[in-house]
Amino acid sequence: MADVLVLGGTGTTGRRVVAGLRAAGVTPRAATRRPREPGQVRFEWTDRATHADALRGASAVYLVAPIGEAEPAALVAPFLADALDAGVRRVVLLSSSAVTEDTPGIGELQRLVRAAPEWAVLKPSWFMQNFTGAHLVAQGVRDGEIVTATGDARVAFVDAGDIAAVAVRALTDPGPHNTEHVLTGPAALSYAEAAAIVAAHLGRPIRHRAVGTAEFAARLTASGMPEEFAAVLAALDEDIRRGAEDRVTPAVEQVTGRPARSFEAFVRDEIASR
Ligand SMILES: NC(=O)c1ccc[n+]([C@@H]2O[C@H](COP(=O)([O-])OP(=O)(O)OC[C@H]3O[C@@H](n4cnc5c(N)ncnc54)[C@H](OP(=O)(O)O)[C@@H]3O)[C@@H](O)[C@H]2O)c1
């Protein structure tokens, strides 16, 4: 198999896809705006000149679309055309469980990817890794109070490592998947329940405070997020509050052959051990 180009190759799922491809004996090419290591290639969504070099000799692409763009298809469509011209046959798109083909802007990407000869669309629920790093939920963990507009509704948080494991199979299995995979963890939890698990492992109180959608959007804007994007994220919390993410799918185990990682195991291994 020729190289696999991994967009967002330094990001939450992309770097795990890179590691998984290496472990599977496939050569990954990790796209980044600032290559620093062997195996990385310069890629900037807004600079089409970087796309040709990144694509040369690649047979498959893991596609993480430009983040925070209202109309990402304007950048992704020409990239995909170049990719297919360059000989790419298989495209695996990272989308989201909250996105359908009818979702304005970002939904268009799912239609574009289906035009590849071989494709898969990954639709993960919310990442467990939002509880670590720079994410607002992680800041809530540090502050002892996670604020959302999700009420007491549940989310089947999924591990980025499981998303990457599914991506590696979708990129390397001899037969193309040509389907959508809705990816969840093994259980749906409210933020209060998730906060209690983190608190128990860290040995300090962490609570969840539920606020209304407008108040949540205002908090996001106050933290520096553009108003339009804050409104989109707040609306997603409202969807959760209505029960949109309260379901568990068997896709991780079906595709990878092993059960999805639990939130408990994630907290033990990635939060409490640090
Ligand atoms: N977080 C969740 O709960 C969740 C749930 C479902 C779906 N998703 C989806 O997951 C995706 C990734 O989210 P994430 O927050 O985890 O991000 P991430 O994968 O960590 O994204 C950052 C990556 O994008 C690259 N990047 C950023 N700007 C770029 C540009 N202009 N040109 C080329 N590459 C660029 C970065 O590379 P360099 O900085 O190295 O250049 C880095 O590898 C999003 O599409 C989101 O919708 C997230």
- Mutation test of ligand 1: which of 67, 109, 266 has the most ligand atoms closer than 8 Å to its C-beta? 67
Tell me the pLDDT tens digit for each residue of 46-75.
999 999 999 999 999 999 999 878 789 999
Which protein residue's CA is at the shortest distance from atom 6 of ligand 1?
A: 96
SS3 content of the chain, % helix, strand, coil (to 5): 40, 20, 40
The yes-or-no verdict on residue 152 having pLDDT over 90 is yes
DSSP label at residue 130: G
Rounded to the nearest angstrom, the gap between the alpha carbon of residue 254 and the centroid of all alpha carbons in its chain is 19
Q: Ligand 1 atom closest to Cα of 33? A: 41
Tell me the pLDDT tens digit for each residue of 208-246.
999 999 999 999 999 998 898 899 899 999 999 999 999
Fill in the amino acid letter for 157: F
Fill in the amino acid letter for 41: V
Q: Ligand 1 atom closest to Cα of 64? A: 45
Q: Ligand 1 atom closest to Cα of 8? A: 43
**Cα four-point dihedral sign 132, 137, 140, 141:** negative
% of the chain residues with pLDDT over 90:
91
**Cα four-point dihedral sign 70, 75, 77, 83:** negative
The yes-or-no verdict on residue 15 having pLDDT over 90 is yes
pLDDT of residue 1: 59
8 Å CB contact between 189 and 157? yes
pLDDT of residue 162: 98
Which protein residue's CA is at the shortest distance from atom 15 of ligand 1?
A: 12
- Mutation test of ligand 1: which of 15, 33, 229 has the most ligand atoms closer than 8 Å to its C-beta? 33
In the chain, the domains with their CATH numbers are 3-124 (3.40.50.720), 126-157+185-246+261-274 (3.90.25.10)
- Averaged pLDDT score across all residues of the chain: 96
- Mutation test of ligand 1: which of 12, 34, 125 has the most ligand atoms closer than 8 Å to its C-beta? 12
Tell me the pLDDT tens digit for each residue of 245-254.
999 999 999 9
203 C-alpha to center of ligand 1: Å? 31
Beta strands per DSSP E along 7-124 = 28-32, 40-42, 58-64, 90-94, 118-124
8 Å CB contact between 207 and 66? no
Tell me the pLDDT tens digit for each residue of 121-149.
999 999 999 999 889 999 999 999 999 99
pLDDT of residue 103: 87
64 C-alpha to center of ligand 1: Å? 6
The yes-or-no verdict on residue 2 having pLDDT over 70 is no
60 C-alpha to center of ligand 1: Å? 19
249 C-alpha to center of ligand 1: Å? 24
Which protein residue's CA is at the shortest distance from atom 7 of ligand 1?
A: 96
8 Å CB contact between 63 and 92? yes
Residues whose CB falls within 8 Å of the CB of residue 51, separated by 6 or more in sequence, listed in order: 43, 79, 82, 83
% of the chain residues with pLDDT over 70:
99
pLDDT of residue 69: 82
Provide residues with CB under 6 Å of ligand 1: 8-14, 32-34, 43-45, 64-67, 94, 96, 124, 126-127, 130
- 272 or 187: which leads in pLDDT: 187
Neighbours of 125 (CB within 10 A): 25
8 Å CB contact between 167 and 62? yes
Compute CA distances 123 → 40, 166, 178, 232, whole Å.
26, 11, 13, 17
44 C-alpha to center of ligand 1: Å? 12
